[in-house]
Amino acid sequence: MIKFGAISITHKNFNINELGGLIPKDFSDMEMQIEHLMSLKNAMDIDELFFLNTCNRILFVFYADIVVTPTFCKKFLEKFHPNITEDKLNKFSENAELYQGSSVIEHLFKVGSSVDSMVVGEHEILGQVKHAFDFCLKNRLTGDRLRILMQSTIVNSKEVYTKTNIGKNAISVVSLAVDNLIANIEDKSQKIAFIGAGQTNSIAGKLLRKK
């Protein structure tokens, strides 16, 4: 269990607009993303690597014979984004949340069940975790150890949503933004244009149509 490690960079320690500064510019290309992650995995001598990137979270979970220290974190992030500026690298590495051993499992359970989310109780994060893991597994970044950990995370998260009131109200960052938008539009007949084709816009469009 001690070989599990994690580096978490979220809205809790950074402005959301800052998080994009850690993602390489060519990450929108899936082939380049796989190449980056595989190169990172090999360079850092990591057996298995999981990567999650949402609008307010960047999370790396790995299985390796490594002690997760601030020094390791800085080297890891520099390998992940070789072109990052020294100032940004220092800020990310100094303020990242580091986990080792059983604390990795606890953190993943909190992430999957939305306890660690910007909006506690939102359901989108579990789907994002599952999608990210499927991507990593398909491209041979992960293996059996992280597969078992992710399966446990999914089972635990579903139990939390089912057996507690955490997900009683269907809320998310997007739904709150849509509610705020509607509350501030005087003329409800106005048309709305979406720029971009991401998941956030898709969800926002569906919510607006319902309303």
Catalytic residues, by residue number, are 55
Q: How far is CA 183 from CA 117, 120, 197, 200, in A?
A: 24, 22, 24, 19
Say if CB 112 and CB 157 are below 8 A apart.
Answer: yes
130: tokens are: 């599952």
Fill in the amino acid letter for 14. F
Judged by DSSP in three states, 165 sits in coil
Name the β-bridge partners of 9: 58
Give CA angle at 73 (68, 79), nearest 5°.
130
The identity of residue 91, as a single letter, is: K
Residue 78 CB-half CA count within 13 A: 13
